[in-house]
Chain A
Amino acid sequence: MSEEKYIPKSKLAQWFDSRLPLLTLSHHLKEYPTPKNLNYWWTFGGILTFCLITQIITGLVLAMHYVAHVDHAFDSIEHIMRNVNYGWLIRYVHANGASMFFLAVYIHIFRSLFYGSYKSPREVIWIIGLIIYILMMATAFMGYVLPWGQMSFWGATVITNLFSAIPFIGESITTWLWGGYSVDNPTLNRFYSLHYLLPFLTFGLVILHIWALHVPGNNNPIGIDVKKNSNETMPFHPYMVMKDITALLVFIIIFLWFVFFAPNALGHPDNYIEANPLVTPSHIVPEWYLLPFYAILRAIPSKLGGVIFMFAAIFILMLLPWLDTSKVRSAIFRPIYKKFFWVLVFTVILLGYLGAKPPEGIYLILSRLATFYYFFHFLILLPVLGRYEKTDPLPMSISDPVLDKPGTFDKFKKVASKYEGENVSSFK
């Protein structure tokens, strides 16, 4: 569908399109062929786009009222909450929007891990996605500093101090980051500036992410290539658009539930206490979406080591397309990988739980075990599995056994193996 050259109907449109092919672009986006078997886990790309745009718009509005100065930041937030027309709504949408953004991105990432969407030929999409994820974390962290509450201040202090672990130049780097000898007004101001900038960089990367997606096309739950001009694909508009909007609305309902009925459930009460450089809160915890990395940081009994492992935990994902050597994409056909996938999900959630707990006793032991597994999974398990795992037979096409009914497929295999013995790969 997309391969055919599109020619606009009217002369004027042709004139314009030959100079700036916006119409061709919009035609391409509408007709972009998507596999017909995409399930609802595939709607999170659209949901994430919605999240980014919501954050940018509400952020833009908040910036009209916020004051980036240590004497006024906390009060200006309260001013927004109390006096500005609908200020409370806009701020709660922005604050909870960050959490929802991360919720969606984690589902998006794990979907990719389950169905092998990072594998050839989609490595570049995956890496751009990870860069977006890193930018998101940076943006969220700096945004959390802006209300200038106790968690803002001490979170900023702890995270910027990570850089002091770098040998020789660490101290100079932290001083440079702070613009002083502690987190103070210059720090707040530059964080504000960067917090405003990074979402636009993210937006640019999102365009590249989608562009890179449109070259090979979507992966799908079965993970085999689809024939592009066949009844295996359907145009993006209206089919996927309608499906994406359906999922988006469910997402928005959950989102607004938090905004209206539990707006502070995902935040920390200490951030309603104005920053005080003389008193550290008894437990400093980052926002929930950073907790797994925080747990890894604290699991390692050395300052530099902790920092290295924490960053390695993110950057190791960049190598994933090459660490996972299995030719089969979807976990549906990888019985062993599938189990370890769930072990990984469990480990990451466990790390998140441990990140919120004091690093002592049983928590510390569990953090170390979970950290070990995390690296073991990517560095050892995946390369080994790729070589030795016996995968299930792949169907010839996505319309063959309909995979949203795995039960059917299982029966099929069971019966088949009964008749044939162990080797089921011979029939296809």
Chain B
Amino acid sequence: MNKEIKPKRRDFLFTATYTIGAVGIAAAIWPLVDQMNPDSSVKALSTTEVDISGVEQGKTITVLWRGKPIFIRRRTKNEIDEAAAVDLQDLKDPEKDSDRAKNPEWLVMVGVCTHLGCVPLGDKGEYKAWFCPCHGSHYDSSGRIRKGPAPKNLEIPKYEFVDNNTIKIG
């Protein structure tokens, strides 16, 4: 009788010990993993304000936001028309130009190729807009992917116009 019960109790004791021990080890490992996530000072760096009063038509300025380049381009009439005229069916990642630029004159986007993270060159490529030299992705005057390996359009960050001369990114 006793002999039959004993192994069962022992098994339960060992299982409980192992389980609770494993929970503790997992709890001890979590801080070591989580410390590599963005820390609170990085998370707090949310916004950058940019003065755009000096930007002429057809010129682009690049500012740094969260460690990434942000392209701010004052587009020419020609470019705006070109971007608006594109048939959405020709696009790999269909998006209207009016959804990408709050004010058609100003295009604000993250200057990081959606393929593998290089910074595209301006006024280059088949569409005379942006061209990524790393693997040959061509973007149009709205920053949309037209040709090449990149899967998506250039990302639009959260931004707003504080006044006529200032954009707040983030």
Contact pick for B39, options A58, A87, A89, A90, CB 8 Å: A87
Check if A64 is an interface residue, CB within 8 A of chain B: yes
In Å, the complex CA distance between A90 and B13 comes to: 32
Complex contacts, B36 vs chain A, CB 8 Å: 64
Prevailing SS type, chain B contact patch: helix
Q: Mark A84-105, 1 if CB is under 8 A from B, else 0.
A: 1111011000000000000000
Given contacts A57-B32, A82-B41, A83-B41, 11 further A-B contacts (CB under 8 A): A58-B32, A64-B35, A64-B36, A65-B35, A65-B39, A83-B39, A83-B42, A85-B34, A87-B35, A87-B39, A89-B31
Contact pick for A90, options B31, B40, B41, B42, CB 8 Å: B31
In Å, the complex CA distance between A190 and B37 comes to: 28
In Å, the complex CA distance between A109 and B40 comes to: 43
Size band of the interface chain A makes with B: 10 to 19
Identify which of residues 41-84 in chain B touch chain A, using a CB-to-CB cut-off of 8 Å: 41-42
The answer to whether A84 touches B32 (Cβ under 8 A) is no
Complex contacts, B34 vs chain A, CB 8 Å: 85-86
Prevailing SS type, chain A contact patch: helix
The answer to whether B41 touches A61 (Cβ under 8 A) is no
Check if A36 is an interface residue, CB within 8 A of chain B: no
In Å, the complex CA distance between A64 and B33 comes to: 12
In Å, the complex CA distance between A385 and B34 comes to: 57
In Å, the complex CA distance between A145 and B161 comes to: 49
Please provide the 10 A-B residue pairs with the shortest distance between their CB atoms, ordered closest to farther: A86-B31, A83-B39, A83-B41, A85-B34, A84-B39, A83-B40, A85-B35, A84-B35, A89-B31, A86-B35
Q: Mark A53-67, 1 if CB is under 8 A from B, else 0.
A: 000011001001100
Q: Chain B's nearest CB lies how many Å from the CB of A104?
A: 19
Check if A79 is an interface residue, CB within 8 A of chain B: yes
The answer to whether A61 touches B39 (Cβ under 8 A) is no
Identify which of residues 18-38 in chain B touch chain A, using a CB-to-CB cut-off of 8 Å: 30-32, 34-37
Identify which of residues 331-360 in chain A touch chain B, using a CB-to-CB cut-off of 8 Å: none
In Å, the complex CA distance between A58 and B35 comes to: 11
Complex contacts, B30 vs chain A, CB 8 Å: 86
Complex contacts, A84 vs chain B, CB 8 Å: 35, 39
Q: Chain B's nearest CB lies how many Å from the CB of A82?
A: 8
In Å, the complex CA distance between A84 and B40 comes to: 7
Identify which of residues 40-61 in chain A touch chain B, using a CB-to-CB cut-off of 8 Å: 57-58, 61
Q: Which residue of A lies closest to B36 (CB)?
A: A64
Complex contacts, B32 vs chain A, CB 8 Å: 57-58, 61, 86, 90
Complex contacts, A79 vs chain B, CB 8 Å: 39, 41
Complex contacts, B41 vs chain A, CB 8 Å: 79, 82-83
Complex contacts, A89 vs chain B, CB 8 Å: 31
In Å, the complex CA distance between A65 and B41 comes to: 13
Complex contacts, B37 vs chain A, CB 8 Å: 85
Interface pairs (22), CB distance under 8 Å: A58-B32, A61-B32, A64-B36, A79-B39, A82-B41, A83-B39, A83-B40, A83-B41, A83-B42, A84-B35, A84-B39, A85-B31, A85-B34, A85-B35, A85-B37, A85-B39, A85-B40, A86-B30, A86-B31, A86-B32, A87-B39, A90-B31
